[in-house]
Amino acid sequence: QVQLVNTGGGSVQSGGSLRLSCVYSGRIFSRYCMGWFRQAPGKEREAVARTSSDGTSMYADSVKGRFTISQDNSKNTLYLQMNSLKSEDTAMYYCAAGGSELASKTYAYWGQGTQVTVSS
C-alpha cells in the first residue's frame, strides 16, 4: 500500500521561502510521475510541478523560476522548494504519485496536504 505524508507547510511573508517534504512508502512504479498540487479556498485544484523517472521536471507557468521540485530516492522523499513566495501561492499543497504529467486526475495516490499561507 502506498502512503504519502506531507510536511513543511507554514506561514511566511511575501518574498520568503518554504520547503515542503513528502515522505512516501510502498511500491511506486518508476514509470509514473510524482508531483505537487495545490488548492486555494473556493478554487479548483491546480498542478504546481511534477518530476519523472527520466529526471525531467515540469512546472506550472505561475511558479516557473520560483519553485523547484526534487526527489531523493535514498530517503523516499519528494521536495518542493518555494522561493519568492507571493500571496497568491496561499493554498493547501498536496504531493501525489502514480500519475502522468500535470494531470491531477491521473494521480492515484495523495498525501494529506499541508497549508501554506503567504502574507503580504
Q: What is the rounded (10 degree) CA torsion for 116, 27, 56, 61? A: -30
CA distance 76 to 47: 21
Task: Report pLDDT for 54.
Answer: 87
CA distance 44 to 62: 15
pLDDT in tens, 41-70: 999 999 999 999 888 999 999 999 999 999
Confidence of residue 1 (pLDDT cuts 50, 70, 90): confident
CB 102 within 8 A of CB 86: no
- Tally Cβ neighbours within 10 Å of residue 16: 14
Residue 41 is classified by DSSP as: T
pLDDT in tens, 63-111: 999 999 999 989 999 999 999 999 999 999 999 998 888 899 999 999 9
